[in-house]
């Protein structure tokens, strides 16, 4: 972005949020009846003022960031109020662990995401250690066509052979890379009828499933993986099983990810 573009945005933002203060001499001239300056004169005055007081641009950027965060938080809260069932109880989602668990942890993931591969050990540890945990997996391929193709195989497999899904999921996330070919190979290895599975890939419901997750992620402001949702909070890239255990314990204790 060019300096002139930044300046234009800054001036508009300053006026819009009401923190721009005209230089004293401009106020004095106007008060004395000098009349309104023309556009070029005003822009020159504003430019000179901002150059002399560049810290204002930093204040504007911070104010805009705060406003954006507030709007995003309000939008997410609205999604949780109106679309909780899509987040926690979609009929198309994968549910692991205790289906009637007292705490639900949702993970948006991509089979080619390196951090998701690392997080596999964390979620497996959680499932083994916590018999009351309900884990919801959302196929959220964001890393290219191979990720999309692998996710389509996974969605079809879960519909066809849900009892094989966890082992398939574990192996595909452990693979160096994921694609339709790799996913189908793993499906065969875990005992799934791949002829039937390949035919199922043409089912439009698979694409509808992925589109629904993409739409949900966008509404929650999720654009990367792994991202977790717990107790109506969106938590990008939470690191480690211990951190997740603490969050889950807090939800059980006070209903929030952070207890005072």
Let me know whether 227 and 244 are in one domain.
yes
Q: What is the mean pLDDT of the chain?
A: 84
User: Is 24 part of a structural domain of the chain?
Assistant: yes
Domain presence at residue 34: yes
Contact assessment for residue 230 and residue 246, using Cβ atoms and an 8 Å cutoff? no
Query: Each residue of 185-208: pLDDT tens digit?
Result: 999 999 999 999 999 999 999 999
Residues 81 and 98 in one domain: no
pLDDT attached to residue 49: 82
Do 157 and 178 sit in the same domain of this protein?
yes
For residue 44, tell me if it sits in a domain. yes
Q: What is the DSSP letter of 205?
A: H
Please state whether beta strands 103-109 and 94-97 pair in parallel, antiparallel, or not at all (unpaired). unpaired
Of 25, 59, 85, which one is at a domain's C-terminal end? 85
For residue 140 the two structure tokens come to 């959220």
pLDDT digits (tens, 9 = 90+) for 92-150: 789 999 999 999 999 999 999 999 999 999 999 999 999 999 999 999 999 999 999 99
* Across 220-240, average pLDDT: 89
Q: How far apart are CA 209 and CA 15, in angstroms?
A: 44
Tracing tokens 């001239």 back to the chain, one arrives at 29
Q: Which of 85, 115, 130 is the last residue of a domain?
A: 85
* pLDDT tens, residue by residue, 39-93: 788 778 888 888 888 888 888 888 888 787 777 777 777 766 776 888 999 887 8
Q: How confident is the model at residue 21 (pLDDT cuts 50, 70, 90)?
A: very low
Shared-domain flag, residues 124 and 190 = yes
For the sheet with 227-230, list strands across it. Answer: 94-97, 133-139, 103-109, 227-230, 233-236
| C-alpha dist (Å) from residue 243 to 51, 87, 249, 256 | 46, 22, 10, 14
Structural domain of 33: 3-85
In a domain, 9, yes or no: yes
* Residue 260 domain flag: no
- pLDDT at position 17: 43
What's the structural domain count of the chain?
2
Give domain status of residue 174, yes or no. yes
Sign of CA dihedral 180, 183, 189, 194: negative
> Which two structure tokens, joined as six digits, stand for 2?
């060019």
Residue 50's pLDDT is 82
**Model pTM?**
0.74
The CATH code of the domain that includes 226 is 3.40.30.10
Q: Which of 85, 104, 135 is the last residue of a domain?
A: 85
The reply to whether 144 and 231 lie within a common domain is: yes
Quick check: is 43 in a domain? yes
| In a shared domain, residues 212 and 232 | yes
47, 24: one domain: yes
9 and 107 part of one domain:
no
Looking at the fold, whether 104 and 75 belong to one and the same domain comes out as no
Q: Are residues 135 and 216 in the same domain?
A: yes
Q: What is the bridge-based pairing of β-strands 103-109 and 133-139?
A: parallel
CA 41 to chain centre: 45
Taking 80 as the threshold, does the pLDDT of residue 13 lie above it? no
Same domain, 121 and 60: no
Residue 12: per-residue pLDDT: 54
**pLDDT by residue (tens digit) across 23-39?**
444 444 444 444 555 77
259 occurs within a structural domain: no
Say yes or no: 25 and 135 in one domain: no
């Amino acid at each position: 972005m060019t300096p002139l573009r930044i300046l234009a945005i800054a001036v508009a933002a300053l006026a819009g949020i009401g923190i721009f203060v005209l230089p004293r001499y401009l106020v004095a001239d106007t008060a004395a009846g000098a009349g309104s300056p023309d556009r070029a004169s005003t822009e020159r005055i504003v430019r000179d003022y901002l150059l002399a007081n560049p810290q204002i641009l930093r204040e504007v950027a911070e104010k805009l960031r705060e406003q954006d965060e507030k709007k995003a938080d309000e939008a997410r809260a609205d999604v949780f109020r109106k679309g909780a069932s899509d987040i926690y109880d979609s009929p198309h989602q994968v549910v692991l662990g205790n289906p009637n668990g007292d705490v639900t942890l949702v993970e948006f993931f991509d089979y080619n995401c390196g951090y998701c591969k690392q997080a596999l050990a964390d979620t497996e540890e959680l499932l083994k250690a916590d018999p009351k945990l309900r884990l919801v997996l959302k196929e959220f391929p964001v890393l290219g066509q191979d990720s999309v193709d692998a996710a389509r195989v996974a969605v079809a497999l879960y519909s066809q052979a849900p009892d094989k899904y966890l082992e398939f999921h574990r192996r595909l996330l452990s693979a160096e890379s994921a694609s339709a070919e790799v996913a189908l190979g793993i499906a065969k290895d875990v005992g799934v009828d791949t002829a039937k599975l390949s035919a199922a890939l043409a089912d439009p419901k698979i694409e509808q499933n992925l589109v629904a997750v993409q739409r949900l992620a966008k509404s929650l402001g999720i654009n990367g993986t792994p991202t977790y949702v717990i107790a109506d909070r969106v938590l990008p890239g939470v690191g480690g099983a211990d951190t997740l255990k603490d969050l889950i314990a807090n939800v059980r204790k006070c209903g929030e990810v952070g207890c005072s």
